A and B are shown apart, each in its own frame.
Chain A
Amino acid sequence: MTIYNLYLFDRDGQLLHYAEWTRNKQSGMTREEEAKLMYGMIFSIKSFVTKVSPIDLREGYLTYTTNKYRLNLYETPSRFKFILNTDVHAQGIKELLHQIYTQVYVEYVVCNPLCQLNKPIESELFAAKLDEVVKQSPAYASRPA
């Protein structure tokens, strides 16, 4: 199993943080362009889902799967969006994203007086802790060498 990369967007669609672990294909554009495209896609998927859904959505979690990867979107009540790309067999990603939010983002960004909430995250501690949490997760650990 593999975890590919993570995007963190704030409520205005600004890319706050990007991290990648295993990425076999680059999109061939700058990071900002890619972030805009990703946010645009998420925005459209969300509006598509609310329209197509036979009943109202309860939680801010949705995933889509292609034949190669799975995109997991976790949206907090404050509309921060955590997007994690994993392989299709990864389990427990919802819990992992929740953990990243409560134990990494809240602890090391919200509680850090030096971090401005509406600016891209520059804290190295945040990046290090994020890396640690992701690498400890079973979805990352069980990947073939």
Chain B
Amino acid sequence: MTTLMYKFHQINLYILTDKMTVHSLYILSKSGGLIYQHDHNIPTVEHEKTFSYPLEVKLEVQNRNIVVSYGQRDGIKVGHTLMAVNGMKVTGQQLEDGRDAMLASMFYPLYALACQLSPEQRSSGIEILEADNFRMNCFQTLTGVKFMVISDVKQTGIDNLLHRVYEIYSDFALKNPFYSLEMPIRCELFDEHLKSALEQAERLGISNI
């Protein structure tokens, strides 16, 4: 406890100003296995501030992040997320290993149930799942591969993004001679293109509003 107090004498806070709009992307193989997962955590605007103890802002854990709850000052506003302290990354509570795979495979039966319980003939499975604070879009290809994007409800253009990701998957994963179907995707080119597609989608999505 005493060492912890000492560390608080000088603190650099990196604070995230804008909410990121695309949270994560999952790719499920046709048998329901998770073959790719990407957490998109690019802060759009960062503030770096030096504080001395006692802190002039009040922080609290909210939704797996450390968030400013009181004390608006110098461009740092209530609701901003603390990213790092003294150069050390603050990540909040992280998903444990294997939990993502479980989440992805949880979705697979839900998709099938949604068809079965449909009041209308020949319905597809879940395409958009929307709660009050996030939206999940799912795109299933003809071959049964599912692309899922979890984003902010305000993010637009997710359909285009999903098709773009499908293209990238075909170009850089399927055409890669070292990639075997149903296996996790580990291709650098795929990663790079995916990242730029996500960034582009966020930029376009924001300017559309």
Contact = CB atoms under 8 A, between A and B. Distances in A.
Interface of A: 4-5, 20, 22-25, 27, 34, 37-38, 40-41, 44-45, 47-49, 51-59, 61-69, 71, 85, 87
B123 A66 contact: yes
B110 to A, nearest CB: 6
Interface stretch (B131-139, B164-172, B178-186, B193-201): B131-139
Contacts of A47: 106
Contacts of A64: 114, 126-130
Contacts of B124: 66-68
A57 B132 contact: yes
Contact of A66 (B103, B126, B131): B126
B76 interface: no
B134 A55 contact: yes
A80 to B, nearest CB: 18
9 contacts: A52-B150, A55-B134, A62-B132, A63-B129, A65-B126, A66-B123, A66-B125, A68-B118, A68-B121
Contacts of A22: 119
Given A41-B110, A44-B106, A34 B117 contact: yes
Given A45-B110, A48-B110, A62-B132, 16 more contacts: A4-B119, A5-B119, A37-B116, A51-B99, A51-B106, A52-B103, A54-B23, A54-B134, A57-B132, A61-B131, A63-B129, A65-B128, A66-B114, A69-B118, A69-B119, A69-B123
* 6 nearest A-B residue pairs (beta carbon): A55-B63, A4-B119, A68-B123, A68-B120, A65-B128, A62-B131
B113 interface: yes
Interface of B: 23-24, 62-64, 99, 103, 106-107, 109-110, 113-134, 136, 150
Contacts of B117: 27, 34, 37-38, 41
A22 B64 CA distance: 43
Contact of B121 (A25, A48, A49, A87): A25
Contact of A56 (B63, B114, B120): B63
A124 B119 CA distance: 24
A44 B129 contact: no
Contacts of A69: 118-120, 123
Most buried by A among B106, B122, B124, B131: B131
A57 B119 contact: no
Contacts of B134: 52-55
A69 B126 CA distance: 10
B106 A57 contact: no
